[in-house]
Chain A
């Protein structure tokens, strides 16, 4: 089993739609959680951190359920510019002193 698993995608949605991505992680000791965005043939960039209480950044909402080892990302009012691959990321066994482990990514395509 991979350490971080994500919805396989791709998600094809119209502009204005609400879309949700899910992710599960296997290491119960993980303390830090993130969503990264990767545009086609570009490098990954941090989208947002995920906090236990849930957090929101504009149209983006991230949720964490530690008991279920589950992370989600909700995008409201999708824009064409949201089209990208969304990577679920958790810290590795070194905690904040170690590396980050990336999921395979879920591809989102927002259509006009």
Chain B
């Protein structure tokens, strides 16, 4: 499809498990963002890539969170030793230019993580 694709759409993990969430941005989009959205909250910034370079990871809540975009297209967000407070929807977004540019981020439908 032409939009941002995320997988899996739903993930249930036992506390302590590692999870990997994948994002396929819109083809040709330079910038890629990860956000975390807890129930009833707005999206919270996690990290941002411009091509393969991770320019900002200030929003990652702990060193259990790791993101990569090795070839400047697909990105993976990995969460190690998951905890219950990691339960949220993880949203990936891409934009055509560098950064948030014109402000139009195109979001995927998200990966809903539930940690038991």
Describe B's contact surface by its main secondary structure. loop
Q: Taking the complex as formed, is B99 at the interface, i.e. its CB lies under 8 A from any CB of chain A?
A: yes
Residues of B contacting A16 in the complex (Cβ-Cβ under 8 angstroms): none
A95 to B99, CA, bound (A): 8
- Please, which residue of chain B has its CB at the minimum distance from the CB of A88? B42
Which residues A83-109 have CB closer than 8 A to chain B? 87, 89, 91-92, 94-105
Quick check: A96 and B42 within 8 Å, CB to CB? no
**Contact across chains for A46 and B42 when beta carbons are under 8 A apart:** no
The minimal Cβ–Cβ distance linking A101 to chain B, given in whole angstroms, is 6
A43 touches B99 (CB 8 A): no
> Is B104 in the interface zone, CB < 8 Å from A?
yes
| B113 → A minimal CB distance (Å) | 15
| CB pair B103 A89 closer than 8 Å | yes
The residues of B that contact A69 with a CB separation of less than 8 Å are none
Say whether B20 faces chain A, with CB atoms less than 8 Å apart: no
The interface centre, meaning the residue of B48, B103, B108, B109 with most chain A CB atoms within 10 A of its CB, is B103
In the complex, the answer to whether A97 meets B98 with C-beta atoms within 8 Å is yes
A96 touches B108 (CB 8 A): no
- 17 new A-B contacts, CB < 8 A, other than A43-B91, A44-B43, A100-B100, are A32-B100, A34-B103, A44-B105, A49-B102, A92-B100, A94-B48, A94-B56, A96-B98, A97-B50, A97-B55, A98-B99, A98-B100, A99-B33, A99-B59, A99-B99, A100-B105, A102-B35
